[in-house]
Amino acid sequence: MATPAGAIDDAALLQAAEAALRQAYAKYSDFRVGAALLTSSGRVFHGCNVEIISFPVGRCAERNAIAAAVLGEGPTMRIARLVVAAEFRGGIAACSPCGACRQAIVEFGADATVLYRDAGAALSDLIDPTGSWPLMVGRRRCDRTKPYCRRVRRP
Which positions lie near Zn ion, rule CB under 5 A?
60, 98, 101
CB count within 10 Å of CB 23 equals: 16
Q: Which is nearer to Zn ion, 26 or 101 (CB)?
A: 101
Shortest distance, CB of residue 97 to Zn ion, whole angstroms?
5
Known active-site residue 62: yes
What is the Cα–Cα distance from 58 to 51, expressed in whole angstroms? 4
d(C-alpha 79, C-alpha 44), whole Å: 10
Q: Using CB positions, name the residue nearest to Zn ion.
A: 60
Shortest Å, Cβ 103 to Zn ion: 9
Catalytic residue from among 18, 62, 73, 107: 62
Q: 91-93 and 79-88: which strand pairing?
A: antiparallel
Smallest gap from residue 33 Cβ to Zn ion (A): 8
CA dist 109 and 104 (Å) reads 8
Residue type at 120 in one-letter notation? G
Closest CB to Zn ion among 76 and 114? 114
Residue closer to Zn ion, measured from CB, 5 or 98:
98
Which lies closer to Zn ion via its Cβ, residue 25 or residue 41? Answer: 25
Q: Which of 127, 126, 108 is nearest to 117 (CA)?
A: 126
Instruction: Compute CA distances 40 → 26, 70, 97, 111, 130, whole Å.
Output: 30, 12, 20, 11, 27
User: Whole-number minimum distance, CB 7 to Zn ion, in Å?
Assistant: 28
What amino acid positions are annotated as catalytic residues?
Answer: 62
